Every structure is written in C-alpha cells, then in structure tokens.
Amino acid sequence: MSRGERSSPVDFRPVASSVDQLEDNKVKIVVEVDESEVDKAIDLAFKKISKDVSLPGFRPGRVPRKVLEAKFGQDYARSEALNELIGANYRSAVISHEVDAIAQPEVTITQGEESGPLTFEATVEIRPSVEVKGYKDLTVTIQPLEATDEEVAIQIDSLREQASEREEVGRSAISGDFITMDLSGSQDGTPEESLTADDFTYEIGSGFIIESIDENLQGAKVGEIVEFEGDHPNEEGSVLSFRALIKKVEEKKLPELTDEFVAEMTEFETVDLLTADTKNRIEDTKKNQASNLLIEQIGSELADLVDEDPPEILIQEQIQQQLQDMAMRMAQQGMQFEQFLEATGQDIETLAENMKDPAAKVVKIDLALRAVAEAEGISIEQVDIDKEISDLAEHFNQGEEQLLEIFQENGQLLTLKADLLKQKAMKYLQQNVEIVDPEGTPVERETFLFPENQDKEENMSENIEQESTSNDTEEEAPSE
C-alpha cells in the first residue's frame, strides 16, 4: 500500500474496528470486514481485470468472469480485492478513530486471506506526546518599539541619497567614495575580457565580485595602480586577479536637509513634519512586526523546553515540505530549483542536511503547543470547527457543506482541529508569558496586535491543495 495512493471510490464498510495503544508511540488498529464486502470487492477486482486485459474474441471490459477465473485464478482477484479492502478500511478506521498516524502501517491479515470474511491488524506509529516543563515561567525579550534617532536619520538620509551629487577630490579614497578606473582582470592567470573595463566606476563598500577590492581601494590616489586578488565566488579553487589604474576619486555630496529641500522632495513642508512622519511610520512598522516576532520568540523558547528528540520521520517530512515550498517560490520567480542548486554549488542532499536542525525545531514547536493545550485543558468545540469551515469556505469561494465533505473524505478534520488547538495554545501563551525589553522592563501587552487569523489561511490552503503532512496516512489531497 503506497503512500498517497488513491483508495477505491467504492464505500467498503467494516463490520467493526478498534484501536489498542502499544509501546513506543504505536497503536494497533484491528479491522473486521464482512464476507459480503469481500465478495463485492472481488467482483470489482474482476471488472477491473476485464478492462485491463486483452483477450481474443472479447472486447475490453466484456470478458466474462468465468473466463477470467480460468485464466488468472480466483486467488489473483482475491489478492487484488484484499489490497483494496485493506487500503480503504485502514483509512476509514484512521479517520473514524482520529488516529494521528505519522508513518506507514505494518499490516497483517489474521483471517480471510483465502476465504471468508477479512480481519487484519495495522500497527502504525503515531505522533508522540511531550512534556514542556516551565512553559508557565517563560520570559520573552522584545526589542523596543520606539524609533531611535539613528533609525529616523537613516530613513531621511535615504531620501537625501536620491538627490546626492558626486564631487571630485584630490585626497586618498575612503569608504563611500566613487573611484573611476581602468580595470583588467584574469582568472588563474588567464586574461578575461568579461573582467575588463575602461572608465569603470565603483563605490567603495558597495560590494564586488571579490571582497578584497574594498580594502585595497581605500587609501588609493589618482594615478596609482592597485593590484588585488581573491577566490572566485562560484568556482572553488579558482583565483581572480585584478589590476586597477585609478583615474578619478569622487566623494558623495548629500544635499543639506532644509525645509526647502523637504518641500521639493516630499509631500511635507518642513523638516520637522518629515521627521515626525518618518518616526511614526517606523514605529507603526515595528508594532506590526512585533506580534510576529513575539510568536516566533515564544515558539523558540517552547522548543528549548522539549528535551525529547522528535521522530525522524516528522523531521524528514518537514524538510520535504520546506524544499517543496522553496521550489514553488523559485518557480514563481522564474527560476528552476536545479538552477538554484547549481548557482549555489549545492546538491539536494547537502541542502536537506542543512535544513535538519531548523526542521527539528519546527517539529518541537508543534509538539510543544499540543502539549500546552493538553496541560491547560484547551479543547476544540464544534462551534470552533463550524466557524473555521465558514471562514475557509468564504475565502475559497466554496459552499460550507461541500468544503466540510472534502475535509471529512480526506481525513483532514483531524489536521484542522490540531491547527485550531495550536492556535488556541499560542493565544494562551501570548496572554500569559512575561514580555520584557532588553533592559528587563516589562512591556505592555496591549502594545501588540495579534491578528486573529494570522497564517491560518495560508496553512489551511496548503491542507486543501496538498496532502497533509501533519496527519500523514494514505490520505489524498482533498478534491471533489
């Protein structure tokens, strides 16, 4: 039974199913299927075989069952039928018992392999529970939300930069100066036309092919020849060498910050008005970002409270999800994932290995939030689910009943409940952790604006468009 394989559209109903807790975060699911359901599955198996085979004298799909039994035998069709039954009924049992399976099951047929009703056992690993001792005593440090004079000055100077001019100077070059030079370059001693340019102008400190250019150009004067080299950024072991004839040194002249300048360049009439508006915009941005930063900080602190190593399968699923998200973002920007790997000199295995620690942290946060919810008796009521379905139906322009049916058929109600539970747990922590600034002074909680549905639509969109990774059984992406 392969992951993600679509089960039979026929509704095979088990007579009974039960779940027993085992050791090592595993459960045993026992399913009994009536003989009439087995017979129905066998009949469907023969119909499928009839469509797939080509026999002389018969049209596809019209081969009589007796002919098929004579050619393939009853055992073959029964084996195909049992595979369908096991897949469909395992999935049904997982959904009905809300088993949070994270791996593929080990299935054993205990009755009915050759005849009669079917009984099978499926042993599967489930998401573990963890302890998060100390979560009630969390202290989160947040940077001040007030705009500093330096931050305001940087913003205003960016406006002055737009109107800046360059003035030639006779002194030695310093950081921020513009140098005009005749530049010639070579790679491993071989001249390269692509690295050669006359009257090339470079701002010291702005970044070049090799970092050593900045330290070598500082102190240079007109008429001097400066030589420097450095490692090729994209070709390991290769060296780039440059020779620069300095022809001109210019310094950047920023216009004076006056009311006249402000009135000409902005919608404001005075420096004071521009300064006040800049300060307000910086603080508004900080406040908008503060809630996200607080949530990130709480998550990070929670992860540190989890001593247990999360299951490797959950870590690998998170890595795969991150890789898929990365590839999707690149595709939206017109770049193929393979091009990115080639440009950065990485292979997929190295990239995945570098993602392992961050992925493990994400898994720990997920487990910790579930643990906080359990410890605090936080639960999801039907009204919570109804509201979520209503919000999602409006967002995706679908009927509520239709969307609920999609979630039920694909077993993603468990995922939806888990998402809502973690949202409530995070909200509890937001309301109860101690928040301080870097000096240890308490920060008023009212400063933070917590969006009610932050990241919800994005997360649930992934659940609707692809197979859920947090309830990873054999479920398909929801579809009508």
Domain with 229 in it: what CATH number?
3.10.50.30
Q: Do 209 and 281 share a domain, yes or no?
A: no
What is the CA 29 to chain-centroid distance, rounded? 32
Report the SS3 class of residue 109: strand
Cα separation, 75 vs 371, in Å, equals 48
Report the SS3 class of residue 444: coil
Tell me what pLDDT residue 57 has: 59
Tell me what pLDDT residue 302 has: 94
Domain membership of residue 269 (yes or no) is no
Domain span at residue 235 reads: 165-253
DSSP alpha helices (H): ranges in 333-381? Answer: 337-344, 348-354, 356-375
The DSSP annotation for 27-75 comes to EEEEEEE-HHHHHHHHHHHHHHHHHH---TT--TT---HHHHHHHH-HH
The DSSP annotation for 183-204 comes to EEEEETTEEEEEEEEEEEEEET
Q: Do 242 and 343 share a domain, yes or no?
A: no
| Residue 12 · residue 43 · CB < 8 Å | no
Q: Do 460 and 421 share a domain, yes or no?
A: yes
Partner residues linked to 211 by β-bridges: none
Tell me what pLDDT residue 472 has: 40
State which of 185, 218, 253 marks the end of a domain.
253
Q: Do 354 and 446 share a domain, yes or no?
A: yes
Q: Do 200 and 281 share a domain, yes or no?
A: no
Residue tagged 């508004």 (tokens): 284
| Residue 472 · residue 102 · CB < 8 Å | yes
Tell me what pLDDT residue 276 has: 96
Q: For position 75, which CATH number holds?
A: 3.30.70.1050
Q: Average pLDDT for consecutive 10-residue bins of the chain (480 residues)? A: 41 76 95 93 85 67 70 82 93 92 96 94 96 92 89 94 92 95 94 93 90 93 95 86 96 94 94 96 86 90 94 95 91 85 84 93 96 96 93 90 87 92 94 90 75 45 40 37
Domain membership of residue 291 (yes or no) is yes
Q: For position 393, which CATH number holds?
A: 1.10.3120.10
| Residue 249 · residue 181 · CB < 8 Å | no
Domain membership of residue 7 (yes or no) is no
Domain membership of residue 1 (yes or no) is no
Q: Do 79 and 207 share a domain, yes or no?
A: no
Tell me what pLDDT residue 426 has: 94
Tell me what pLDDT residue 466 has: 41
| DSSP state for residue 355 in the 8-state scheme | T
Q: What is the total count of domains within the chain?
A: 3
Domain membership of residue 264 (yes or no) is no
Partner residues linked to 248 by β-bridges: 180
**Number of other residues whose CB lies within 10 A of the CB of residue 65:** 15
Beta pairing class for 178-187 and 239-253: antiparallel
| Residue 93 · residue 31 · CB < 8 Å | yes
Q: Do 346 and 391 share a domain, yes or no?
A: yes
Length, in residues, of the chain? 480
Q: Do 331 and 418 share a domain, yes or no?
A: yes
Domain membership of residue 116 (yes or no) is yes
Closest of 3, 21, 73, 12 to residue 44, by C-alpha: 12
**Number of other residues whose CB lies within 10 A of the CB of residue 331:** 11
Find the helix or strand (DSSP H, E) in which 418 lies.
helix 413-432
Q: Do 376 and 398 share a domain, yes or no?
A: yes
Q: Do 435 and 367 share a domain, yes or no?
A: yes
Tell me what pLDDT residue 278 has: 96
Domain membership of residue 289 (yes or no) is yes
Q: Do 280 and 421 share a domain, yes or no?
A: yes
Angle, helices 356-375/413-432, rounded to nearest 10 degrees = 80
Cα separation, 188 vs 200, in Å, equals 22
What is the CA 394 to chain-centroid distance, rounded? 24
Domain membership of residue 193 (yes or no) is yes
Q: Do 278 and 338 share a domain, yes or no?
A: yes
What b-and-e string marks burial along 254-276, b requiring 16 or more CB atoms within 10 Å of the CB?
A: ebebeeebbeeeeebeebeebbe
